[in-house]
Each structure stands twice: as structure tokens, then as C-alpha cells.
């Protein structure tokens, strides 16, 4: 470890719990060399983010850490707060998982960048602004001279992440800590962000500690991998050795749970189609404009039918119109043109009776169960709220009985009806989301990125549950996802969207293995594969094209 930039030696973190302390990590030790990329992987609750945040003591109040964290030979555990402030941002920078929450919504991107620059360098505001524009240009932000004055909500997810990277690079750090930097980004934007990190690393020579649950990302960018489970390091190996000959049983389980594009057999054809449960005929969907401004047409010319018992995969980049179509199917967005039919009834007008009809036939599983469940209501209440709205079931005893049945259906204890969302893990909360969607016995379930923020093993269990329930209950599904391997494992047909238009659709294996359109081929090429050799070949090809 003598040549290491960063060394963690027997690091342990504990949280205050009442009058006692609860230990969450145990004897964590690993190192990072200058210019090296180390991936820290494991399930939620494994301690990977806590370990990473302990390096700069970015942990919440009521936390203590022990052991040694040596950065360029200096022990950061022994450093006082003023010294840590000097190191944060200048020598060690952090990219957080969700830039929308990490960026202050009342400040422009320029405000954020100027604060980052001037907190470590005594330069005039005009000089700092010039530097900020140059940083945005370096991270390939489109039109940086204009985007610098935009607020976070005015940027796309990928652009917000680029702004975060620009802030992190403002003082040319020696170490970049990237905490789930590509979670919830579509495959093309994810590839762009990873390419950007690699490009900046090669140009500046910085080391990178990347925290992720995406083994495709690990295969793409990591030199070494540290695997954590229940607060302990269970394995540490060079990336190729880990993928080819994992030593720990837990690592093998993680790798086996990874869905792989091209490894799935053809999904069984749906039952003979009767009347479609959902039909869109030349549909256009618009978002209303602000006062005296024209609305934005997010989807146009959409023709799509979903047969009884059929799962359709809806894929495309962010902003392609995937979620817009899902929301229209739920009656959450009006149809500006064309015909939308649910359960044989034309609901294009979007009146109150149409909305009631939709809610009786269509349900939705949202991307983030933590934000879609009311934290003040028990999970039993959340699950059965749809019964009150659509079927008028007011009896508390009946709703409680039904909630217990639904919990059992999603493989959770019926006795949990009185628990609250914060008492459950992410995977358990997503099961609650599925249970709530099943409450009305829907003909169609819209699943909007239901596994994008879950660990690979948790994702595998949720997808297995979804498949079993769909086969048992026979509901149709519009499954929205940017993970093509997940779509391949579930859907009998896939629809590819780009900028609000359908560019290709057909049987899943036909579209994903023999795509006709360049855009579809680009989506497939951008999807990370959990194989370091394949990813190295892809990266080399991309470099040749750029060169």
C-alpha cells in the first residue's frame, strides 16, 4: 500500500441509537492508487455509501468513525473540521447519486460553480464565471454560455449530472468519489457520463472511487472491485479476476443475478388477442404551456395495442415520451389528438366518468416507491386506498383483511399492515407498490421503471415476483424501462420511442437482436454488459470513432 493515494485501515462507522451506538461497518480496509478506478459494490445496506462518505466525514450528525483513513499519507480521521473543509472539493471531490437533490433549486448552475471555484481560489467573479463556462464545455454541456444561467429543474438528468461533474472538477481533485453516478439514467446518457469520467480521469490523472450496484458499469470502468456485505468487505480483486473467478459465494450470487442482454429465450406469445385492454390510435399528448405560452407536444402519432395478458416493453432515452404514454394510459395526462381506448371504452375526452373507468381497469407501479408511498400512512392503508377510491370499500375491517391478502400475494407477512414505509427496505417498498397496483384487480398494469434504483439481487427478486403474479393473475402490462435486458426477459413485444415518435416495434427478440433502425442499434450498443473484455472492446471502438 506504500504507493497508495488513499488507504482505509480497519475503518468502522457507528450511528447513535438512543443512548447506545449501532455499528454499521466493520474493519473495512482497501486502498486506491493514483489514477486507479476502484468500484465499491454490494446491496443496499451493505455499507458501501457509508464507507465512501466516511472518507470526508460527510456522514449525518450522531455518527462516529474509527480506524485510519490516509489520504496522501495524512490521516483524515484525526483531521479537524477546518482541515477537512480544505480537502473537500480541492483534493477530494464527490458526485452524488441524485443531482436534483444535491443541487439547490433556487440557485443557477453558474451560482453553484462560482461558489465551488471561489471557495478554494481567491479570484474575481468574472474570472470565476469564465472558468465555470470552460468547465461546462469540458464536460460537454451543450451551449454552456446559456446553460450556466439555467436552474437545475431546467436541465435534463444527464445535464444535471454533467453540472455536478463540472463542480467536482473545478479544483482538479486527486480523487473523485462517484456515488451511483448513473442510477436512473437511460443507457445512452449513462454511457456518455461514464465516457466523460474516463476522459477526465485520463486527462487529469485523478483516481476514482465509484459506488454502484450496476455490474455492467463495474465491468466498463473499474480496475479493481471491492465487494461489501452487511458492513464488511467480503472480497477484493482486479476486475477481470472478479468476473471470471469470484472467490466469495456472495459475489457469485451478485453476478448470477445480473440480467444479460442476449441471454434470454423468447418470451411465450400472449393468449389469443381479444379486444385490446389498451389501444392508442394516432394519439398525440401535450403538456400545457405557461401563461400565454404554447404547450409542448411530448408524443405524436402513437399507434399501440396491448392484448389481454400481454407485456409490452416501452424503451427509449429520457424525454422520448415513455412515461408520457404511461401517464396518459392512467388518465393523468389528456389526449390532444387521436383515440385512447381502455377496456373497450373511448376515454379520449378525459371526463370524470372516463377517469373513474380508467382507474378501475388500469393501475400503476412507480419508479421510486419511497416517494410514491405516503410516509404518514401505514402500508396497509396505502395498499387499500385504491379500493376506497374506485370501489367505495369503506369498511376498515374489510380493507385490513384485503391488505393482508395482498401482502401475502407479494410474499410479505400479512402482519406488516401496521408498518410504515420507512421501516421497509427499497425492495420491500417496491413490493408494496405492486400490492397497491393489484388491489383493484386491474386489466392493465403500467410499470414505470419499477426496478431502476434497486440492487441487482433485489431487482431479480422483484422481477421474478412480477412475472409470477402476471402469469397467475393474467393482467397485461406496459413495462417502461431503460434496461433492455430486463425488457428482453419480460416482454413479448417491444416498442422503441425517440423524441415522442415510435421508430420501431415488433417481437422482442427480433427488435433487440436484429434491429432495423440505427437508433435502436445505438441503444443496444450503449447498454453496459457485465463482461470487462466486451466493455474494453466497445470502449476501444468508440475511441476509434471519436479519433
pLDDT > 90? residue 545: no
DSSP-assigned states of every residue in 201-228: HHHH--EEEEE-S-HHHHHHH-SEEEEE
Q: Edge-to-edge, what's the strand order for the sheet holding 296-306?
A: 296-306, 278-287, 335-342, 345-346
The partner residues of 75 in beta bridges, in order of sequence, read: 70
Joined grid coordinates for residue 503: 421508430
Amino acid 171: pLDDT: 86
What confidence score (pLDDT) does residue 1 get?
43
Does 450 score more than 50 pLDDT? Answer: yes
β-pairing, 175-179 with 92-95?
parallel
Three cell numbers at 361? 381497469
Report the b/e string of 276-291 with b at 16+ CB within 10 A.
bbbbbeebbbbeeeee
Which percentage of the chain shows pLDDT scores above 70?
96
The contacts of residue 77 (CB under 8 Å, 6+ apart) are: 11, 65, 66, 67, 68, 69
Domain 1-91+173-258 and domain 278-529 have a common topology: yes
Domain 1-91+173-258, classified CATH 3.40.50.300, yes or no: yes
Which pLDDT band, with edges at 50, 70 and 90, does 273 fall under? low
Query: Which whole number is the average pLDDT over 497-514?
Result: 94
Residue 528, C-alpha cell as written in the block: 453496459
Looking at residues 305-311, what average pLDDT do you find?
Answer: 95
Domain boundaries, the chain: 1-91+173-258, 99-172, 278-529
Domain 278-529 listed as CATH 1.10.760.10? no
Average the pLDDT over 454-462 and give the result: 85
Provide the pLDDT confidence category of residue 269 given band limits of 50, 70 and 90.
low
Cell 486527462 belongs to residue: 203
Half-sphere exposure of 520 (CA within 13 A, CB side): 22
pLDDT given at position 453:
72
pTM to 2 decimal places: 0.84
- Res 544 pLDDT > 80: no
Q: What is the mean pLDDT of residues 253-282?
A: 82
Average pLDDT over residues 390-410: 85
Q: Please report the pLDDT score of residue 232 as a whole number.
A: 97
Give the pLDDT band of residue 494 (cuts 50, 70, 90): very high
What are 416-426's pLDDT values in tens digits?
999 998 888 88
Amino acid at each position: 500500500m506504500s504507493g497508495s493515494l488513499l488507504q482505509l485501515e480497519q475503518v468502522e462507522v457507528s450511528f447513535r441509537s438512543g443512548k447506545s451506538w449501532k455499528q454499521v461497518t466493520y474493519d473495512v480496509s482497501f486502498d486506491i492508487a493514483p489514477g486507479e478506478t476502484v468500484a465499491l459494490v454490494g446491496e443496499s445496506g451493505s455499507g458501501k455509501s457509508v464507507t465512501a462518505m466516511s472518507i470526508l466525514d460527510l456522514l449525518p450528525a450522531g455518527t462516529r468513525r474509527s480506524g485510519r483513513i490516509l489520504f496522501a499519507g495524512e490521516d483524515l480521521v484525526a483531521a479537524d473540521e477546518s482541515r477537512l473543509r480544505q480537502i473537500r472539493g480541492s483534493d477530494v471531490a464527490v458526485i452524488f447519486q441524485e443531482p436534483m437533490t444535491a443541487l439547490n433549486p433556487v440557485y443557477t448552475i453558474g451560482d453553484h460553480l462560482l461558489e465551488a471555484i471561489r471557495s478554494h481560489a481567491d479570484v474575481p467573479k468574472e474570472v470565476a464565471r469564465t472558468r465555470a463556462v470552460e468547465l461546462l464545455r469540458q464536460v460537454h454541456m451543450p451551449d454552456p454560455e446559456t446553460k450556466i444561467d439555467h436552474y437545475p429543474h431546467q436541465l435534463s438528468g444527464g445535464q444535471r449530472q454533467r453540472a455536478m461533474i463540472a463542480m467536482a472538477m473545478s479544483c482538479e481533485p486527486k480523487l473523485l468519489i462517484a456515488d451511483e453516478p448513473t442510477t436512473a439514467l437511460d443507457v445512452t446518457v449513462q454511457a456518455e457520463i461514464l465516457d466523460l469520467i474516463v476522459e477526465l480521469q485520463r486527462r487529469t490523472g485523478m483516481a476514482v472511487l465509484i459506488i454502484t450496484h450496476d455490474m455492467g458499469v463495474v465491468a466498463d470502468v473499474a480496475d479493481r472491485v471491492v465487494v461489501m456485505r452487511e458492513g464488511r468487505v467480503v472480497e477484493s480483486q482486479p476486475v477481470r479476476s472478479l468476473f471470471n473467478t469470484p472467490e466469495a459465494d456472495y459475489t457469485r450470487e451478485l453476478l448470477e443475478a445480473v440480467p444479460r442482454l442476449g441471454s434470454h429465450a423468447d418470451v411465450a406469445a400472449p393468449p389469443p388477442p381479444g379486444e385490446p385492454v389498451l389501444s392508442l390510435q394516432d394519439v398525440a399528448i401535450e403538456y400545457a404551456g405557461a401563461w400565454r405560452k404554447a404547450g409542448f407536444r411530448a408524443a405524436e402519432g402513437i399507434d399501440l395495442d396491448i392484448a389481454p395478458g400481454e407485456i409490452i416493453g416501452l424503451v427509449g432515452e429520457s424525454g422520448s415520451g415513455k412515461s408520457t404514454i404511461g401517464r396518459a394510459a392512467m388518465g393523468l395526462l389528456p389526449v390532444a389528438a387521436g383515440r385512447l381506448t381502455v377496456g373497450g371504452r373511448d376515454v379520449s375526452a378525459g371526463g370524470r366518468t372516463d377517469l373513474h373507468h380508467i382507474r378501475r381497469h388500469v393501475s400503476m407501479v412507480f419508479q421510486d416507491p419511497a416517494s410514491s408511498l405516503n410516509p404518514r400512512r401505514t402500508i396497509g392503508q396505502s395498499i387499500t386506498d385504491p379500493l376506497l377510491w374506485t370501489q367505495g370499500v369503506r369498511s376498515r375491517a374489510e380493507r385490513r383483511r384485503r391488505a393482508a391478502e395482498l401482502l401475502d400475494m407479494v410474499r410479505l407477512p400479512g402482519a406488516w399492515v401496521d408498518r410504515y414505509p420507512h421501516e421497509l427496505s427499497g425492495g420491500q417498498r417496491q413490493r408494496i407498490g405492486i400490492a397497491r397496483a393489484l388491489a383493484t384487480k386491474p386489466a392493465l398494469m403500467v410499470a414505470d421503471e419499477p426496478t431502476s434504483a434497486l440492487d441487482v439481487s433485489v431487482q431479480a427478486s422483484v422481477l421474478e415476483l412480477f412475472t409470477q403474479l402476471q402469469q397467475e393473475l393474467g393482467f397485461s402490462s406496459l413495462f417502461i424501462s431503460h434496461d433492455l435486458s430486463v425488457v428482453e426477459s419480460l416482454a413479448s413485444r417491444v416498442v422503441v420511442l425517440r423524441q415522442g415518435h415510435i421508430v420501431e416495434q415488433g417481437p422482442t427478440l427480433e427488435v433487440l437482436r436484429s434491429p432495423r433502425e440505427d437508433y435502436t442499434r445505438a441503444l443496444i450498443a450503449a447498454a453496459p454488459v457485465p463482461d470487462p473484455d466486451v466493455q474494453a472492446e466497445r470502449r476501444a471502438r468508440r475511441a476509434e470513432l471519436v479519433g
